[in-house]
Structure 1
Amino acid sequence: MGIKVLVVDDSSFFRRRVSEIVARDPDLEVIGTAVNGAEAVKLVAELKPQVITMDIEMPVMDGITAVREIMAKNPTPILMFSSLTHDGAKATLDALEAGALDFLPKRFEDIATNKDDAILLLQQRIKALGRRRLYKPISRPVPASSSTMARSSSSVQQPLRATKPATPASRASSVVRASGKKYKLLLIGTSTGGPVALQKILTKLPANYPHPILLIQHMPAAFTPAFAGRLNGLCKIEVKEAQSGDQLKPGTAYLAPGGMQMMLERGGAHGRLKVLSGSADMNYKPSVDITFASASKLSGRDTLAVVLTGMGADGREGARMLKSAGATIWAQDEASCVVYGMPQAVSAAGISSQSIALEDMAESILRESGNG
């Protein structure tokens, strides 16, 4: 039997299309469909799927409210389908904060230029989420059912993490002991599960964090302005979408724009950013490898680079170049990753020196940076 999938969408055409794609893969099985969030909540309890694909805008109960209720009652990995618009970006980020683990554009032509590639990517994402186990927190209240499209990010509950069951008392701390090394730059690369992971780390950094921070998150162009704005509103540090010519400042995080490549070059006291479209054949825009490689030539050993949750191996070769230049490389540990792909790639290659739980990453960064 394959990974059991529940497909949720108010469009009969889209339900059928997704169901057919899922059914093509022998490792996947559609066990039910739902036409709105309320029906999805009911079917999750009855059918116990291993993965849910979820639309955002639906009658009776929208997708974000449904995500909250499902994660409170029967935590299940959820893949959201989103429109590539400003409102679609905001709603998708709300869904991720509510507990969804991943998202894809609803128009398949926005997923990949080749139809077969888009189908394969959807199947791969579902299988990756199907391998994760979620746990139900104690005494987690369920908000009253209402449209959440207009809710501010501050009113959204924090998400569940895709992780193995663990309690604070039983989980061994992975906080690192400060090495005493001096740094000038922090790099963080991530993909699937990254928006929640970045929020968890960056909100714990003080306004006087001593170094500039470069963030590379696999994300569509329509999403990065909204994501940078959301992080900026939640964090003590400043967070902005990177622009060409930005001169790096301590205590500021620069998010690579979706659909572009972000590179570090000489200029100012801490370096300057160059944002360009890059090669059309690049798999990732932005690419962790591209940014890491450019930093290896400029900041070298003065860099702390962190690879967080994500599919694939983007970041491995850039991290290898950084390490050769004397940089320190860390990876998120398997248990706290939504998808242990990118961190595993740098860890298995012997590039990273530490595997750190997401819960301990901010404290580890602060200690290593001299703020702990």
Structure 2
Amino acid sequence: MKQIQVLVVDDSAFMRKVVTDILQADSDIKVIGTARNGADASVKNLTLKPDVITMDVEMPVLDGLGALKIIMKERPCPVVMVSSTTKAGGHTTMLAMENGAVDFVSKTSGPISLDLFTIAEQLREKVKLAVRATIVMPKVLPKAEPNIVAPQIAPTLRKLVAIGVSTGGPKALKDVLVHIPDTLPAPIVIVQHMPAGFTKSLADRLNSLCSIHVKEAEHGDLLRNGYAYIAPGGKHLMIIEKDGNWVCKLTDLAVVNGHRPSVDVLFHSVSQLNNAAVVAVVMTGMGADGAKGLKQLKENPSCWSLAQSEETSVVFGMPKMAIRTNSVDEIVHLHDLASRIVSSC
């Protein structure tokens, strides 16, 4: 198999060397060049034509976000952001994901991470995933008119939207949630695979853009219509019934399908709710998280299930595995997901 050609971008010569050594410890990866800032990176993207770029977020001359925008315009290439876990770093990382970055890893101890080796395997895995990812450019997304009608929900049932998403999720979630009105007669609960320290930035960013209220879920939150609750990184999110309310329960239980939070954990908990009419959505992401939980949800005849289409998914793993369970009612283009969620409620 052809080696994955990588361009490493960081303003620190030390970090460029560390990232290069980490990546080239895998025989499937070859670092073909390095860049010291975003301006240098945008030029080398054109001259070296890498398969994948690892991009520092905070750099002089032109930062990672600015470079990403140029790269996506001039020569789209899968980009993995390398971010600090500071509030500013988290916010910029969310903007990068909106603007086309495939994924990110977090520096373990600031801009100069002497212990970056602790996430070495994760970095190599994300580079290998990135080379197989689809860069979805909004201008080429086709719009498909749905031809399946969701079942009418009995008035006595309470409505809930449950979403599972991973790689490519921050941008896909934005594209969906900005089109959800705050009059939606249901709360929305979301598992986005993401480490601790970044889900708050994601929720805050989405909240600034959306009509609905978006927040990082907290233990004991009562679910309210017109609100979206995102599972915090490092915690499983479960929905339980308490005193007639639906309540967020956060747990530190073991990882499931390699993830905490896990979509299967959320979906399983929702499947246990009484008198619930659920719209379940499986979106872009690697792996099979959510497939088993969706099968449990579909045991409820009042569950309507949607999967994001292959051509609009950065990685079609999670939707594909959900579809294989024969538990998906509709396969929906990204630009139609919001309208299908609203019409299904």
The reply to whether residue 181 of structure 1 matches residue 152 of structure 2 is yes
Paired residue secondary structure (2:323): helix
CA deviation profile, 1:305-350 (whole Å, cap 9, x unmatched): 1011112221112112112233222211111111112111111232
Q: 1:289 aligns with which of 257, 264, 272?
A: 264
Residue 54 of structure 1: how far off its partner (Å): 0.1
Question: Runs of 5+ in structure 1 lacking a partner?
Answer: 136-159
Q: 1:341 to 1:119 in 2, by over 3 A?
A: farther
Q: Identify the residue that residue 46 of structure 2 maps to in structure 1.
A: 45
Deviation of 1:116 after TM superposition, in Å, equals: 8.7
Aligned residues: 335
Going from structure 1 to structure 2, the CA distance change for 1:116 and 1:229 (only over 3 Å counts) comes to closer
How far, CA to CA, are the matches of 2:320 and 2:121 in structure 1? 22
When normalised by structure 2's length, the TM-score is: 0.89
Change (3 A) 1:117 1:298: farther
Aligned-residue offset at 1:23: 2.3
Relative to 1, partners in 2 of residues 1:318 and 1:357: Cα closer, same or farther, differing over 3 Å? same
Partner amino acid, structure 2, of 1:192:
T
Equivalence for 1:152: none
Task: Say yes or no: does 1:307 pair with 2:282.
Answer: yes
Q: Are 1:334 and 2:310 matched, yes or no? A: yes
Distance 1:236 1:13 in 2: 44
Equivalent in the alignment of 2:225:
250
For residues 178-219 of structure 1, the C-alpha deviation after alignment (integer angstroms, 9 at most, x for no partner) is: 323326110001111111111110100111011111011112
Q: Distance in 2 between matches of 1:29 and 1:261?
A: 36
Q: Which residue does 2:12 correspond to in 1?
A: 11
Percent identical across equivalent pairs?
41
Greater shift in the superposed pair: 340-349 or 302-311? 340-349
**1:71–1:278 Cα change, 3 Å:** same
Query: Is this contact kept in 2: 1:248–1:271, CA < 8 A?
Result: yes
| Segment drifting more, 17-26 vs 54-63 | 17-26
- Is 1:238 matched up with 2:187? no
Q: Which residue of 2 aligns with 1:229?
A: 204
1:208-261 CA distance string (max 9 Å, x none): 011111011112221122221221121111111212222211111111111111
How far has the Cα of 1:301 moved from its partner? 6.1
In the alignment, which residue of structure 2 is the partner of 1:321? 296
Q: Is the 8 A contact 1:245 1:274 kept in 2?
A: yes
Q: 1:301 to 1:350 in 2, by over 3 A?
A: farther
Whether 1:368 aligns to 2:339 is: no
Counterpart residue type for residue 179 of structure 1: A
Runs of 4+ residues deviating >4 angstroms: 114-117
- The amino acid that maps onto 1:365 is I
User: Which segment drifts farther, 175-184 or 192-201?
Assistant: 175-184
Look up the equivalent residue of 1:2 and give its one-letter code.
Answer: Q
CA contact (8 A) 1:2 1:28 kept: yes
Q: SS at the partner of 1:319? A: helix
In structure 2, the residue corresponding to 1:324 is in which secondary structure? coil
SS, match of residue 272 in structure 2: helix
Partner of 1:192, secondary structure, is coil
> Aligned letter for 1:99?
G
- One of 276, 279, 289 as aligned partner of 2:254: 279
Report SS of the residue matched to 1:181.
Answer: coil
CA distance in 1, matches of 2:256, 2:294: 21
Q: Secondary structure at the match of 1:84?
A: coil
- The answer to whether the Cα contact below 8 Å between 2:143 and 2:335 also exists between their aligned partners in 1 is no
SS at match of 1:5: strand
Whole-Å separation in 2 of the counterparts to 1:115 and 1:25 = 16
Which position in structure 2 is the counterpart of 1:150?
A: none
Which letter does structure 2 place at the counterpart of 1:119?
A
8 Å Cα contact 1:177-1:368 kept in structure 2:
no
Equivalent in the alignment of 1:348: 324
**Secondary structure, aligned partner of 2:242:** coil
Q: State the SS of the aligned residue for 1:264.
A: strand
Q: How does 1:158-169 map to 2 (within 5 A)?
A: 160=137, 167=140
CA distance in 2, matches of 1:127, 1:358: 25
Aligned in 2, Cα 1:218/1:76: closer, same or farther, shift over 3 Å? same
Query: Which moved further from structure 2: 273-282 or 1-10?
Result: 273-282
- Give unpaired runs (5+ residues) of structure 2: none
TM-score, scaled relative to structure 1: 0.83
Q: 1:205 aligns with which of 177, 180, 203?
A: 180
- In 1, Cα distance between the equivalents of 2:343 and 2:72? 33
**Kept after mapping to 2: 8 A contact 1:55/1:82:** yes
Mapped to 2, the partners of 1:115 and 1:224 lie a distance apart of: 21
Q: Distance in 2 between matches of 1:235 and 1:242?
A: 17
User: Which AA in structure 2 matches 1:197?
Assistant: A
Whichever structure has more strand as a proportion of its residues is 2
8 Å contact from structure 1 (residues 263, 291) kept in 2: yes
